[in-house]
Amino acid sequence: MSQTGKLPGNWKADLPASIVVALVALPLCLGVALASGAPLFSGIISGVVGGVVVGFLSRSPLSVSGPAAGLTVIVLAAIARLPSYETFLLAVVIAGVLQLLFGLTRSGVLSEFVPTSVITGMLAAIGIILILKQFPHAIGYDGDYEGDLEFLQPDGLNTFSTIWHSLDQQLDVGAALIAGASLAFLFWWDGARPGTGPLRFVPGPLVVVAIGVLGNALLALVAPALQVQSTHLVQVPVAQDVSAFLSLFRFPDFGAIANPLVWSTAVTIAIVASLESLLSVKAVDEIDPRRRVTDKNWELFAQGGGNIVSGMIGGIPVTSVIVRSSANVEAKAEGKLSTILHGVWLLLSVALIPAVLNLIPLSALAAILIATGYKLTKPRLFTERYRQGWTQFIPFMATIAAILFTDLLIGIGIGLVVGFVFVIGRNFRPAITFACEGPDCLIRARRNLYFIHKYELQKELGRVPDDTSLLIDLSSTNYVDLDNIDIINAFIKGAAYRNIKVTVRGDLAERSAPLINAPLAGVRFA
């Protein structure tokens, strides 16, 4: 919440955005739960908790949390190993407590070391993956679960082979027609929606859902052979009464607190969920039109609180999810009211109108996700990175390729390695200038000096001849590490024996007196 205690944002913008996010989140919640080997309703619980609880606790204005595809393998293996689902829920609760501890130790600062080129590469990669992964769903093939972002799939296929495999199957013409009409409408609506009047509040994805439901009903009347069958419709659990609905919630088994598998599972979930959340929030800050910066340490508190609540009532782990968050940004949300309301809509819809939700064709929702993916990976993004030079473009492209052919975390890791290679390469470029004219010599540091500059500094100091005056210019630096200070200090001590007069220029000493004045004591600062 903000300093005033009010939810930031404009409800006129956040209300329609929340509907868009809820429509995007619904199939992803169900798909991730299915792939995780958990009850389908557990995915809905996580989506609701990610919206309402994490949304309320978080200081991120646009990030949206819920069950994440990046945890499916971990959750699937944990549920198989642990004695019961209730025991797994205990691990989720403990993971949430560990995330609170991560926040206390200020671990969120780690996300600030991720280069922008890697973050934008992650966004573009997810956009490409959404388009590729949703294409089979758009033509009626649902062999892979909704929300999968990994290259290798549980069914033995991969992102590309699934496309060819889906084309080899009998094409679901009805699903393809609905997806085509939905995509055409979405791209038209983005340009045609008026800036004034009530229509500006109508979210395009909501119209797409209506197109899907009504279009399928029309196909049932005029061309029954083309009607989309139930296997390609949303499948939300339907409770017949309040008692049956409440029975869908599960509770952790605290009697298993001493089980070492519970603790190892909790640690794994806490680490991976925290990494995904920090990366996602960092990415959302990059695409926020207002460029607001989220407190990453507090975000770990919010995510931890969400996982505690999710585990307590039967949900699978939650993280900040870039697909939902980017949909929130594209829907022009302004504050976190959109995030909270999307959780409310999920809860109300599965509680009150599950039968209506089960009329929605997956191909219509696939069209929404394809449009979201396109907005994340527009050609302009690639040309902008290319114009910024190879040091930005290569890490950007490497991150895209790595995520596309592995998964999110491995791909980010590879992107970081490539990015850091360029960072190190830039720092290994000459950082020190040396010049002599008669008895006057100059050594100028062109940027901050770190341990990797020790050799260069020693080499240039070694070039200073006897019986000269040396000016060491540190005016362009904000920081010189102690290794380099020791080198300068050692040179100064020996300079008196070589008749070298040393002067240091720059305000670094004044701003960092404990670090500079003591090692360089007795030196005159110009």
Structural tokens at position 31: 């798909």
What integer pLDDT is reported at residue 514 of this predicted model?
42
Global pTM reads 0.82
Contact 321, 64 (CB under 8 A): yes
Q: Which helix (H) or strand (E) holds 66?
A: strand 65-66
What integer pLDDT is reported at residue 484 of this predicted model?
86
Domain positions in the chain are 33-414, 432-525
- Calpha distance 18→203 (Å, rounded): 9
CA angle 320, 323, 329 (to 5 degrees): 90
CATH class of 432-525: alpha beta
Quick one: angle between helices 260-287 and 116-138, nearest 10? 100
- Calpha distance 276→306 (Å, rounded): 14
Radius of gyration of the chain (CA): 28
Task: Give the three-state DSSP class for 293.
Answer: coil
How many residues are present in the chain?
526
Contact 98, 303 (CB under 8 A): no
What integer pLDDT is reported at residue 9 of this predicted model?
61
Task: Give the three-state DSSP class for 502.
Answer: strand
Contact 326, 123 (CB under 8 A): yes
Structural tokens at position 459: 């080499």
Structural tokens at position 37: 């080997």
What integer pLDDT is reported at residue 426 of this predicted model?
67
- Calpha distance 294→284 (Å, rounded): 9
DSSP assigned state of 83? S
CA-based nearest residue to 366, from 44, 149, 128, 135: 135
CA-based nearest residue to 33, from 42, 22, 24: 42
- Calpha distance 399→421 (Å, rounded): 13
**Four-CA torsion 48, 23, 232, 212, nearest 10 degrees:** 150
- Calpha distance 277→255 (Å, rounded): 30
Q: Which helix (H) or strand (E) holds 142?
A: none
Strands 469-473 and 501-505: parallel
Contact 499, 466 (CB under 8 A): yes
What integer pLDDT is reported at residue 115 of this predicted model?
86
What integer pLDDT is reported at residue 507 of this predicted model?
63
- Calpha distance 480→512 (Å, rounded): 10
- Calpha distance 106→100 (Å, rounded): 10
Quick one: angle between helices 116-138 and 173-192, nearest 10? 140
pLDDT in tens, the chain (526 residues): 444 445 666 888 999 999 999 999 999 999 999 999 999 999 999 999 999 999 999 999 999 999 999 999 999 999 999 999 999 999 999 999 999 999 999 999 888 888 889 999 999 999 999 999 999 999 999 999 999 999 999 889 999 999 999 998 888 999 999 999 999 999 999 888 776 677 778 899 999 999 999 999 999 999 999 999 999 999 999 998 999 999 999 999 999 999 999 999 999 999 999 999 999 999 999 899 988 989 999 999 999 999 999 999 999 999 999 999 999 999 999 999 999 999 999 999 999 999 999 999 999 999 999 999 999 999 999 999 999 889 889 999 999 999 999 999 999 999 999 988 887 776 667 889 999 999 999 999 988 888 778 888 999 999 999 999 999 998 888 888 888 888 888 888 888 889 999 888 876 554 444 444 333 433 443 3
| Residue listed under structure tokens 């991720």 | 114
| Residue listed under structure tokens 């360089």 | 520
